[in-house]
Amino acid sequence: MNTRLNCSALLAGLTISTFLALPAAAACLKVIGTEGGGTSLTMDPAFNNLNDDSYQQNLVFNKLVNIDANFQPVPELAKSWSVSEDGKTWTFVLEEGVTFHDGKPLTAADVVYTFKRLIDPATGSPGTPLLSFLDPAGIVAVDDHTVAMTTGDVVAELPLLVANKYTMIVQDGATSETLKSTGVGTGPFVQDVYDLAQDTRIFRKNPAYWRAGLPVAECIDLKVITEEVSRVAAIQAGSADLILSAGPAALTTLKDDPTAQPVPAAGAGGYMTLSMQTDAPPFDDLRVRQAMKLVVDRQLVVDTVLLGNGIPGNDNPIAPNNPMAFRSDTLPRDIERAKALLAEAGYPDGITVDLNTADAGPGYVMLAQIYQQMAAPAGITVNVVNNPADSYWDLTWMKTPFFSSSWNGRSVPEALAYTFISSAEYNEGRWSNAEYDALVTAMRIETNDEKRVEMVKRAQEIITEDGGIIIPAFFVDTAVLRTGCSGYVPHPSAAIYNFETLTCAE
Amino acid sequence: MSFVRLIIARLVASVLTLLLVSVVVFTGVQGLPGDATARILGREAPQEARDRLRAELNLDDPLVQRYLHWAGAALKGDFGTSFASRQPVTDYLAPRLANTLALSGLALLFYIPLSILPAIAQARRPDGPLDRSITVLTVAILSAPEFLSATLMLFAFAVIWPVFPPMVQLTAEMGWPAYLHALMLPALTLGLLLATYGVRLLRESLLEIYRSDFVRMAEFKGLSDRRILWRHVLPNALIPWMNATALNIAFMIGGVVVVEKVFAFPGFGSALVSALQLRDLPVISAGVMIAAAIFILVNLLADIGALIANPRLRSRQ
Amino acid sequence: MSFRTSTPAALQWGLAILLLHGLMAVLGPFLAPYAQDQMMAGLPIQGASLGHPFGTDQMGRDIFSRALAGGWIVIGLSVAGTVLGVLLGSAMGLFSGTVGGWPDEVLMRLTEAFLAIPFLIFALLIVSLAGPGLQGSPWLLIGVVAAVYVPRVARMSRAAALDVVARDYVLAARLRGEGAWTISRREVLPNAMGVLLVEFAVRAGYAPILVGTLGFLGFGLKPPTPEWGLMMAEYRNLLTTQPMAVFGPGLMLATLVVGLNLFTEGLSAMASRGSAGRTP
């Protein structure tokens, strides 16, 4: 590859193309993302990191099993599945007539390869720990259209757990080197122009898409604009057709604007946290933790930080409006009780804590500031430490006693385990509760739905009362469609995007 | 000192400076704290994955060795491979640089009339209403941060009067006309921002020259106002203005980060900023070096131009 | 000689504005109707009203109170950074111009090397180099402003020094056997003072904008610091619904810069020097 500065070649190319100029791709729908990946962008599902990766990967790939707005499994490339008598073997039957963008038909071998590659530590994927329950030897292609997954222990909700953002199905034999910039999948759109230098990404309709009649759009032009004012300007000027996630300020600006239609997600997705490490003073004392939680005015957080685009949280990862929530009302604020608890714990004159935050996620700094104000009347003096955003994740997150964080929407079993069991890699609270761990293990193998729901509720109760994580609010993501466009609803999980039915009247 | 020797001396000095910059930049960039691998792979990446990436990127070799390797390759035009995208740095930076150069060039085309014409109008009737209002306008723009001016321009010409597209969308198949049209608004904004300085400077120079004896002589000789202006006053007034313009050109390469961010322009400045955030060391080093090299080149040309235009400068500086 | 009808007026107006800002900076926090960090002083994101001249932000804080509380930060940072930059830069430049020879060459090459790096990128690099511990700290910002200005001031003051050094009284001093350091202190400095003052005023005029731009890019001060440029950056998403949220602090910043610029014009008229390009 010629690596010399080729300005002259570029200029020559531009000149030539003037004469061969194709008409501008007028039929491409302009989709605007909010969180950009820049040069770290990847087409490789195994290395899906930022939302920008999800935007493009969701256009080009399908998963075996996908997740709906209620975080229930829905068939995708697997049209059906069943579990064996002993509960340890799940069998997935694949759709027929599915082909990759290069014409190669989808077979069980591709599914087996995808999962084995993910589990293999040599790949180096961040998704490897999520699939620790799978045994590579137990993933077998029964025949061309059937895949079996056998696990050592019963995994009651395996279909849900194999539907995370890393598990999009790639071709058998695809390597990390090629997948970084070229995604050959079975998805509704085909990668066409992928020019990171010019920041241009165009995806064309897959004519052989296995879902008949879809996608509706001819092509999608994906771009990330980090400036909210510029995104708003784009919609108002008619240059953008869809903004994937509009911030609270943008929604306020576009509220009465006839050129834009806000489209809220069907359910609550991710949540914000203020995480306390429970293995050292002062947060090792349950009373202190409870006091820290009691000062929170959850509705106020939703009204200010999220400007109403959210749902109050009850300090556990299941949103109160979820049918499996252990309580649907909002935990009340109680300053007196907080003071009393602190006094009991040995802090009659209050307590001083450092809260580490950064502009590394939506609303982090604002939440920290609001928390500082909410905690003051109870004698809790919060010192907000605003760290630089780009080093927050390597230097501050999970390395200080009290810090900001947030998590994407997930299915219930994943949410309860991912950051809360004592052995979790991302156990932000350094929390260890034996009853909780046992419950999570038990619910994983519990095949009786009613019993499992009971366990889920009890688990939430334990987190809320004993855990070290303050969860004051859930995000309700809202997209904005240009008037005249339709067919898009944001998914509560920020890693799932469905562009199949997006269309715009001209 | 003869003319040619002076030029050679300046050339040598420029090369030395460039070398010095390379050392400063490389050492500075290597000293950036923070882990590139963590930022590239994300917060949920396991330690083994990060270590693997570290080894691939040779992040643990000794400093001098890495500098020599980098400098040697750079001389041949190879600036290494980006940590984040695993593509050659030049593949990523070259089109970005081309975009920024195009933007700067177009901005310059706007800048010239935008700074010269108002200054002439002001100098003709100093302290008149036109002079005062132009001064107020330029001072207002000068006193506002660039991001505010750029955002206002965006709303004025892309939303309220939708003459231009609000965001820059460049494709490889675009023809020249479409390309220029896409660049128009950010270029106009940039040209306007720079012109505010040029106007003030030129106005001062013009007024200074208007007061001089030699203009009075021309007036006595009966030359028309227009002739005096265009043939005698303006050419002399333009010399300091050109010097400042050279500085502005150099500024445009690295300083347009703000305009790029507001207009979502895929330019050189924003490439550097995102590389900084990712700790993508090869891109940062290459980018800063290129920006510095352009600056040194432009300065060299400006110096040589000044030497040619003004023989008096050829004595010892 | 420069022709200017308004020279004394410019200086006077400039000084008046600066004094006003100084007063506001000192008294502002006490005169503000609300505490600058008080949440829900009003309903969130309301436009300008009698009770809230600049409106309220997302957390219900009164923007006007925040702006009043932030004056001293802006002025303090800009002045301190510029003073530091001018002190160091002029010391370097004057000395270099006086002593001449190879120390001069070396110093000038170094200066040019730093000048070759676009100043904004240079500022971002320094902020990144400072590491996470210092980022967001006002001391770092003072250092960044100074670092950006040192090479520029050094170049200007060296030119001024060269001008002075060519004169007879310096020759006389040299013949008397005075060393370079003494000469720069006794002869050069007093005569170059005019230039230095103008340098200071010009640089100080841009410093608030530099700090605000760094805040906009995320490399400067961090919220909830009520620095005007940062506030403008924070509230820019509200530009179309609540313009006063941006223009309020913007006007304060602009008037400060205008005051500094007018002051500059007055001084520069006295020293017969114009302003350079769009560099700080």
Record: contact A393-B39, CB cut-off 8 A: yes
Mutate which of C39, C144, C219, C232 to disrupt the A interface (most A C-beta within 10 Å)? C39
pTM of the model: 0.80
Residues A160, A166 contacting (CB under 8 angstroms): no
Tell me if B243 is assigned to some domain.
Answer: yes
Tell me if B29 is assigned to some domain.
Answer: no
Record: contact C274-B144, CB cut-off 8 A: no
CATH, residue A253: 3.40.190.10
- Looking at the fold, whether A441 and A305 belong to one and the same domain comes out as yes
Going by C-alpha positions, the residue among A185, A211, A187, A130 that lies closest to residue A163 is: A130
- Looking at the fold, whether A211 and A167 belong to one and the same domain comes out as no
Domain regions of chain C by residue span: 66-278
Chain C residues in contact with B201 by the CB 8 A cut-off are 274-277
Search chain A and give the residue with CA nearest B89.
A3
B238 burial level (CB within 10 Å; 0-12, 13-18, 19+) = middle
Going by C-alpha positions, the residue among A251, A299, A276, A373 that lies closest to residue C224 is: A373
Least confident of A100-109, B33-42, B60-69, C49-58: B33-42
Search chain B and give the residue with CA nearest C277.
B244
For residue A244, the enclosing domain spans 16-60+187-267+477-504
- Shortest distance between the Cα of C46 and any Cα of chain A, in A, equals 11
Record: contact B263-A181, CB cut-off 8 A: no
Tell me if A164 is assigned to some domain.
Answer: yes
Tell me if B182 is assigned to some domain.
Answer: yes
pLDDT tens column, C150-173: 998 888 888 888 877 777 777 787
Instruction: Give the C-alpha separation, A294 to A378, whole Å.
Output: 9
List, in sequence order, every residue forming a beta bridge with A474; answer none if it has no partner: A271, A311
- Shortest distance between the Cα of B126 and any Cα of chain C, in A, equals 9
For residue A167, report the phi and psi dihedrals to the nearest 5 degrees. Answer: -95, 25
- Shortest distance between the Cα of C242 and any Cα of chain A, in A, equals 9
What percentage of chain C exceeds 90 in pLDDT?
Answer: 11
Search chain A and give the residue with CA nearest C236.
A229
Query: Considering CB atoms only, which of A124, A193, A426 is closest to B171?
Result: A193
User: B52: helix, coil or strand?
Assistant: helix
Chain A residues in contact with B170 by the CB 8 A cut-off are 198-200
A287 burial level (CB within 10 Å; 0-12, 13-18, 19+) = middle
What Å distances lie between residue C143 and C85, C88, C199, CA to CA?
A: 8, 11, 18
- Shortest distance between the Cα of C147 and any Cα of chain A, in A, equals 20
pLDDT tens string, chain A, 506 residues long: the values are: 343 434 444 444 444 433 333 334 457 999 999 888 778 899 999 999 888 999 999 999 999 999 998 888 999 999 999 999 988 999 999 999 999 999 999 999 999 999 999 999 888 888 888 888 899 999 999 999 999 999 988 888 899 989 999 999 999 999 998 999 999 999 999 999 998 888 889 999 999 999 999 999 999 999 988 888 888 888 888 889 999 988 877 888 888 888 899 999 988 889 999 999 999 889 999 999 999 999 999 999 999 898 888 999 999 999 998 888 999 899 999 999 999 999 999 999 989 999 999 888 888 999 999 999 999 999 999 999 888 777 788 788 999 999 999 998 888 888 898 889 898 888 999 999 999 999 998 988 888 889 999 999 999 999 999 999 999 999 998 999 999 999 999 998 889 999 999 999 86
Tell me if B207 is assigned to some domain.
Answer: yes
- Shortest distance between the Cα of C6 and any Cα of chain B, in A, equals 9
For residue A477, report the phi and psi dihedrals to the nearest 5 degrees. Answer: -65, 140
Chain C residues in contact with B16 by the CB 8 A cut-off are 109
For residue B138, the enclosing domain spans 93-316
Instruction: Give the C-alpha separation, C226 to C95, whole Å.
Output: 39
In the DSSP assignment, the letter for residue A9 is H
Instruction: Give the C-alpha separation, B218 to B232, whole Å.
Output: 9
Query: Considering CB atoms only, which of B34, B126, B251 is closest to C118?
Result: B251
Tell me if A5 is assigned to some domain.
Answer: no
Q: Pairing relation of β-strands A485-486 and A478-482?
A: unpaired
Query: Considering CB atoms only, which of C5, C212, C254 is closest to B127?
Result: C5
B4 burial level (CB within 10 Å; 0-12, 13-18, 19+) = exposed
- Residue C88 CA, chain-centre distance (Å), reads 15
Tell me if A7 is assigned to some domain.
Answer: no
Record: contact C116-B17, CB cut-off 8 A: yes
pLDDT tens column, C172-228: 877 887 777 777 777 777 777 777 777 787 788 888 888 888 887 878 888 788 888
Record: contact C132-A395, CB cut-off 8 A: yes
Interchain CB contact of A175 with B (< 8 Å): no
Query: Considering CB atoms only, which of C216, C254, C278 is closest to B147?
Result: C216
Record: contact C255-B143, CB cut-off 8 A: yes
Q: What's the pLDDT score for residue A43?
A: 95
Search chain C and give the residue with CA nearest A304.
C59
Chain A residues in contact with C45 by the CB 8 A cut-off are 249, 252, 307
- Looking at the fold, whether A458 and A495 belong to one and the same domain comes out as no
Interchain CB contact of C120 with B (< 8 Å): yes
Query: Considering CB atoms only, which of C37, C136, C237 is closest to A228?
Result: C237
Residues A416, A77 contacting (CB under 8 angstroms): no
The chains found to touch B (3+ Cβ pairs under 8 angstroms) are A, C
In sequence order, what DSSP letters do the residues of A297-329 get, joined into one string?
-HHHHHHHTSTT-EEE--SSSS-TTSTT-S--S
Domain count, chain A: 3
CATH, residue B151: 1.10.3720.10
- Shortest distance between the Cα of B48 and any Cα of chain A, in A, equals 7
What percentage of chain B exceeds 70 in pLDDT?
Answer: 92
Architecture of the domain delimited by C66-278: Orthogonal Bundle (1.10)
Chain A residues in contact with C40 by the CB 8 A cut-off are 300, 304
Instruction: Give the C-alpha separation, C216 to C75, whole Å.
Output: 18
- Shortest distance between the Cα of A258 and any Cα of chain B, in A, equals 14
Chain B residues in contact with C236 by the CB 8 A cut-off are 147-148, 151
What Å distances lie between residue A399 and A391, A396, A428, B38, B98, CA to CA?
A: 12, 5, 9, 14, 43
- Shortest distance between the Cα of C120 and any Cα of chain B, in A, equals 6
- Shortest distance between the Cα of A318 and any Cα of chain C, in A, equals 26
Any alpha helices (H) in A95-207, and if so which ranges? Answer: 108-119, 158-161, 176-181
Going by C-alpha positions, the residue among B138, B248, B144 that lies closest to residue B200 is: B138
- Looking at the fold, whether A30 and A73 belong to one and the same domain comes out as no
Any alpha helices (H) in A120-213, and if so which ranges? Answer: 158-161, 176-181
Chain A residues in contact with C132 by the CB 8 A cut-off are 387-388, 391, 395-396
Instruction: Give the C-alpha separation, A421 to A436, whole Å.
Output: 7
Query: Considering CB atoms only, which of B146, B208, B284 is closest to C3?
Result: B208
Mutate which of A228, A230, A253, A392 to disrupt the C interface (most C C-beta within 10 Å)? A253
- Looking at the fold, whether A55 and A81 belong to one and the same domain comes out as no
CATH, residue A389: 3.10.105.10
Tell me if B152 is assigned to some domain.
Answer: yes
In sequence order, what DSSP letters do the residues of B235-289 get, joined into one string?
HHHHHHHHHHHHHHHHHHHHHTHHHHHHHT---HHHHHHHHHHHT-HHHHHHHHH
Query: Considering CB atoms only, which of C37, C40, C222 is closest to A386?
Result: C222
Record: contact B251-C277, CB cut-off 8 A: yes
**Binning pLDDT at 50, 70 and 90, where does residue C277 land?**
very low
Domain count, chain B: 1
Chain B residues in contact with A18 by the CB 8 A cut-off are 175-177
Sheet of A271-276: strands edge to edge?
A310-312, A469-475, A271-276, A402-407, A351-358, A380-387
- Looking at the fold, whether A73 and A168 belong to one and the same domain comes out as yes
Query: Considering CB atoms only, which of A39, A125, A202 is closest to B92?
Result: A39
Q: Which two tokens stand for residue A151?
A: 């696990």
Record: contact C117-B291, CB cut-off 8 A: yes
Mutate which of B32, B174, B261 to disrupt the A interface (most A C-beta within 10 Å)? B174
Instruction: Give the C-alpha separation, B250 to B268, whole Å.
Output: 13
- Shortest distance between the Cα of B61 and any Cα of chain A, in A, equals 22
User: A33: helix, coil or strand?
Assistant: strand
List, in sequence order, every residue forming a beta bridge with A143; answer none if it has no partner: A146
Chain C residues in contact with B33 by the CB 8 A cut-off are 128-129, 131-132
Mutate which of A232, A304, A382 to disrupt the C interface (most C C-beta within 10 Å)? A304
pLDDT tens column, B251-288: 676 558 888 888 888 888 888 888 888 788 888 888 88
Residues B266, A196 contacting (CB under 8 angstroms): no
